Structure 1
């Protein structure tokens, strides 16, 4: 045993590289999730003694997973309060009229934001919006999410504060005696990479995957997550007398289909009508919008039978009509449980189609989904109905729109404090999480469920692997192999080699760790060669962030990898040529402009 350990210690650097190579092969084979392979890689370093317990646990103290977890909670709060939904509705409204222009506007807006705020929160916020855009435009989300991450990274390379990696390189350069980098000193070179990256994405678009994510499949199976419902105007409503189409709800994810006034149903020229007491509005609404409307003082949502509305309780369940239901083909208003139970039928949804003409006159079909409200006793009786399947608490919750300003302010303050270098993004995000929890923008259980554990395990495991490679001497060995090439290279070739080697390491290790390792080496090497270190540091700064070939290459890559359910090979196929295209543009710009 001692002999084996002595052999491992004597060849630790090579063994570390072998473990890394095996991990990369397994990433490509995809027999196990990337997070599992990363965790097994960290365990391999532990088992061989190349990584000790302190090194493993140091990965948990890294700010990257903490910052991402906190940002995911803040994103969850923005969704819970309807803030993201409000932005998405504006974008979707544009996309319905001008889909291509809307996509360009969204990406342009993201590029404007990325240089001034950390690109990780930008991507966290944009992921649900991209899914909405995918639904409206018919473009699979996988063809939007990866380009979004790439553009967010390139946008972060337009200023010194766009990524934390830039700030780390600047700090280490100052410690080595270099003058501080101006906030926009990196911009010309970042713009060259951005321009090349946009061209590269346009060329490589046919290589992007076209299959749907499980989220999109669920959305399609739910009829686009929209329900047919009816809103009855209460006699005391403040909306009486106002134009029907001016109601705030129709600026959100709801659409007016008709007005039932007495025995008359109005379908045309709806904008010419004003609300009256007891008008019934036939509306198409998303599940979350439908749940939110229940708290309105202006409407009664849904319909009830002869048994009357619920007397108490506020349970909402979702159920599906079984193929064996004896009333299939009959009107929904005649369905027996509405007349036997004191419940309220809130809405009905149908696969890939909106039923109609209104709730009570919908002809029942197998697999129709119903949202039903009632007290616990009535809901228990509903569960006993053998012709209704899966009667369970509805997973959708109402928006907390009155809390939206708090959630938006919490995120804005966190990003501003981080951008001004008052505190790190991780600390600022944790404080923001505390603020949105104590003000009940989001409940604790919802906050924890917003965290994607797969992403966090992936990042923590790869941080441990990176630490193990450093401790084993594998990184130093790679640098030793490359140093002779750097010493003999011309200044022009040196820029390309520094950029390429930085990208290579950043695809496998933490960007910040690569920046911390290579910055002093590059500065020392340039001084030994008697050349200005600044262009080399610029190449290193951009190369440490602009890595697209693996989902572990950058934090935003990991986020969209999980959300978009990509394969590891998808990143390799798109990312390798993108690395080359962007790298050549950035290095060329450094040589010509510096």
Structure 2
């Protein structure tokens, strides 16, 4: 029988729709829409409290998201991901995937999607994405596909994989446990895996070939060419390349590396090679050739000072002015290392200067000229003293070097945090928070760098989504929607009944929360099965699958929010790519359930 929803339920539905429309139109920033949503809920519940509550209870509900464990978990995961990046712990995995992407971009993306799907079947979705997210951001910086074209497909693959087993997500366990409470037999880990595997085969071409084309390129192109620095690279004593021809290793080096006066014959320890390349290219060449571009005693002193003062090593670009004492000097005669304790890694000479005086290749050291740009490494205080004393102009683009000595430590913290959450020893909120604290205590992430790890947009969006989810549940809006849906399902064929339940739960999970969708949807599906004389299990599975179809909004699941800042995504990006995937998965899963259960 049709019933009229309560005033609060109508208001909750209206606020949700208004927020969705504001996000989709994109005329106001995500932060403003999120804060306005929280404000409307707070003011509305203060003057018109829910039944049995007071005005201050409404304020607590509206602002509860800022202290919610889900927000704390997301922030902790961001911090741990930052720890992996700043220590360089993910560089080996990034270099492997980079080689695959370098061989073929499409093959690299396919391998990545399959890897994400397989991992998330046995490990909770959030830790899997936290592991993969920094790798793909790093790959984008290395010249692979831009992060905006890979992160949403990657997230979708993780979510589909998590759907495949009862332990894939906490929501799956929640639905299964509620079903047992309703009198159904328990489901095994791989009870419905074959259904999801077939659906994944249907969805994979969309994730791989279509979804990236629907997303824009968020890379910021440089205004001009990247600076190329000339330097001498000394082969290390323990280099595995000793005795090999240079031609045999060229394929392993970055494309922008150029050898000046390439040596004939095999490479020898301590041999100095004149090379040029971008900053990133030089770093990769040093790693591959196991060599250095500055005297080892200077580099060792910088590292010792960094460890003793607990300061990060920074690399800066500095332009030589007409008043500098370095003019017409070479690096060996400049005394820079002795005077300031910094190391010059290379010299960039503007094209107009190269045109005036062509670069010699007879082995002479380059003499410093006005307008040259020095790539200098050291501690902040020493770099500032060098620039001030020798009349150098510090340019934009300074960056801190990875603290590679803590790479294994940060990786161990991440693995321990994820492992304890995956086996159910601790909730993900506790293990993530403990991991973030350990990142701070061990120095993998510094307190004054936390702002770089966190995103204000994600924080206020999470807080708003939690508030909306609570008001939808507490106002009775979710229950009323379920009751109204059950009235019309009695006239539909089984496949449409399954699809309707799945879509209803999908709407709840994309605008409220997975837990709300599971809690509300599972009893409704069980009652509908009883009223229509249908087997209960496929309808319960429709709820479980619907809870995982959270692709259409960033507020649907915490992994959606984790990728939002890194991919520079807008609300409409999730709608444009997620709605077709929701429709595709709903259709496929409904048909597979009908076939599997002979409905």
User: How is 1:381-400 mapped onto 2 (pairs within 5 angstroms)?
Assistant: 382-383=387-388, 388-390=393-395, 394-400=398-404
Residue equivalent to 2:587: 584
Residue equivalent to 1:371: 376
Q: 1:333 to 1:561 in 2, by over 3 A?
A: same
1:518 and 2:524 correspond:
no
Residue equivalent to 1:3: none
Q: 1:298 to 1:185 in 2, by over 3 A?
A: same
**Residues 242 and 269, structure 2, Cα contact 8 Å, conserved in 1:** yes
Residue equivalent to 2:81: 75
Alpha-carbon distance in 2 for matches of 1:27, 1:558: 14
Alpha-carbon distance in 2 for matches of 1:378, 1:424: 45
Deviation at residue 495 of structure 1 after TM alignment: 0.8
Residue equivalent to 1:124: 130
1:529 to 532, 535, 543: 532
2:72 to 58, 61, 66: 66
Deviation at residue 44 of structure 1 after TM alignment: 0.6
Residue equivalent to 2:441: 438
1:36 to 32, 35, 38: 32
Residue equivalent to 2:310: none
User: How is 1:261-300 mapped onto 2 (pairs within 5 angstroms)?
Assistant: 266-268=261-263, 272-276=266-270, 279=272, 282=275, 299=292
**Residues 81 and 134, structure 2, Cα contact 8 Å, conserved in 1:** no
1:15 and 2:11 correspond:
yes
Residue equivalent to 1:46: 42
1:181 and 2:187 correspond:
yes
Q: 1:593 to 1:45 in 2, by over 3 A?
A: same
Alpha-carbon distance in 2 for matches of 1:350, 1:568: 44
User: How is 1:423-502 mapped onto 2 (pairs within 5 angstroms)?
Assistant: 423-447=426-450, 449-502=452-505
Q: Structure 1 stretch 173-182 or stretch 110-119: which is displaced more?
A: 173-182
Q: TM-score of the superposition, structure 1-length normalised?
A: 0.80
Residue equivalent to 1:321: 319
1:96 and 2:102 correspond:
yes
Deviation at residue 185 of structure 1 after TM alignment: 1.3
User: How is 1:394-413 mapped onto 2 (pairs within 5 angstroms)?
Assistant: 394-401=398-405, 403-413=406-416
**Residues 346 and 372, structure 1, Cα contact 8 Å, conserved in 2:** yes
Deviation at residue 397 of structure 1 after TM alignment: 2.4
**Residues 289 and 399, structure 1, Cα contact 8 Å, conserved in 2:** no
Deviation at residue 583 of structure 1 after TM alignment: 0.8
Deviation at residue 135 of structure 1 after TM alignment: 5.0
SS of alignment partner, residue 549 of structure 2: coil
Deviation at residue 302 of structure 1 after TM alignment: 6.5
Alpha-carbon distance in 2 for matches of 1:508, 1:416: 30
Q: TM-score of the superposition, structure 2-length normalised?
A: 0.80
Alpha-carbon distance in 1 for matches of 2:404, 2:547: 40
Alpha-carbon distance in 2 for matches of 1:110, 1:364: 51
1:109 and 2:115 correspond:
yes
Q: Structure 1 stretch 553-562 or stretch 340-349: which is displaced more?
A: 340-349
**Residues 347 and 372, structure 2, Cα contact 8 Å, conserved in 1:** no
Residue equivalent to 2:53: none
**Residues 318 and 372, structure 1, Cα contact 8 Å, conserved in 2:** yes
Alpha-carbon distance in 1 for matches of 2:191, 2:349: 55
Q: 1:257 to 1:381 in 2, by over 3 A?
A: closer
**Residues 137 and 566, structure 2, Cα contact 8 Å, conserved in 1:** no
Deviation at residue 483 of structure 1 after TM alignment: 2.5
Deviation at residue 471 of structure 1 after TM alignment: 2.4
Deviation at residue 195 of structure 1 after TM alignment: 1.8
**Residues 88 and 129, structure 1, Cα contact 8 Å, conserved in 2:** yes
Deviation at residue 48 of structure 1 after TM alignment: 0.7
**Residues 235 and 268, structure 2, Cα contact 8 Å, conserved in 1:** no
What are structure 1's unaligned runs of at least 5 residues?
1-8, 260-264
Q: 1:156 to 1:468 in 2, by over 3 A?
A: same
Alpha-carbon distance in 1 for matches of 2:285, 2:76: 26
SS of alignment partner, residue 172 of structure 1: helix
Alpha-carbon distance in 2 for matches of 1:419, 1:19: 36
1:301 and 2:284 correspond:
no
Q: Structure 1 stretch 199-208 or stretch 509-518: which is displaced more?
A: 199-208
**Residues 200 and 581, structure 1, Cα contact 8 Å, conserved in 2:** no
What are structure 2's unaligned runs of at least 5 residues?
50-56, 307-312
1:572 and 2:575 correspond:
yes
Over residues 122-150 of structure 1, what are the superposed CA-to-partner deviations in whole Å (9 max), with x where a residue is unaligned?
A: 22222232234445565333221211111
SS of alignment partner, residue 398 of structure 1: coil
Q: 1:253 to 1:434 in 2, by over 3 A?
A: farther
Q: 1:91 to 1:173 in 2, by over 3 A?
A: same
Over residues 188-239 of structure 1, what are the superposed CA-to-partner deviations in whole Å (9 max), with x where a residue is unaligned?
A: 22223312222333563475233324xx547x87839x865544468xx555
Alpha-carbon distance in 1 for matches of 2:127, 2:349: 35
Deviation at residue 496 of structure 1 after TM alignment: 0.9
Deviation at residue 88 of structure 1 after TM alignment: 0.3
User: How is 1:146-225 mapped onto 2 (pairs within 5 angstroms)?
Assistant: 146-201=152-207, 204-205=210-211, 207-213=213-219, 216-217=220-221, 223=226
SS of alignment partner, residue 344 of structure 2: strand
Residue equivalent to 2:385: 380
Q: Structure 1 stretch 375-384 or stretch 333-342: which is displaced more?
A: 333-342
Deviation at residue 544 of structure 1 after TM alignment: 0.9
Deviation at residue 507 of structure 1 after TM alignment: 1.5
Deviation at residue 592 of structure 1 after TM alignment: 0.6
**Residues 549 and 572, structure 1, Cα contact 8 Å, conserved in 2:** yes
Deviation at residue 90 of structure 1 after TM alignment: 1.5
Residue equivalent to 2:563: 560
Alpha-carbon distance in 2 for matches of 1:40, 1:101: 43
Residue equivalent to 2:54: none
Deviation at residue 18 of structure 1 after TM alignment: 1.7
Alpha-carbon distance in 2 for matches of 1:388, 1:281: 26
Over residues 299-354 of structure 1, what are the superposed CA-to-partner deviations in whole Å (9 max), with x where a residue is unaligned?
A: 5627999xxx99996674523438x7699xx98948998779645312356999xx
Alpha-carbon distance in 2 for matches of 1:137, 1:258: 18
| Superposed CA RMSD | 4.3
Over residues 219-260 of structure 1, what are the superposed CA-to-partner deviations in whole Å (9 max), with x where a residue is unaligned?
A: x87839x865544468xx5559944799xx99999799588x
1:345 and 2:359 correspond:
no
**Residues 42 and 63, structure 2, Cα contact 8 Å, conserved in 1:** no
1:361 and 2:366 correspond:
yes
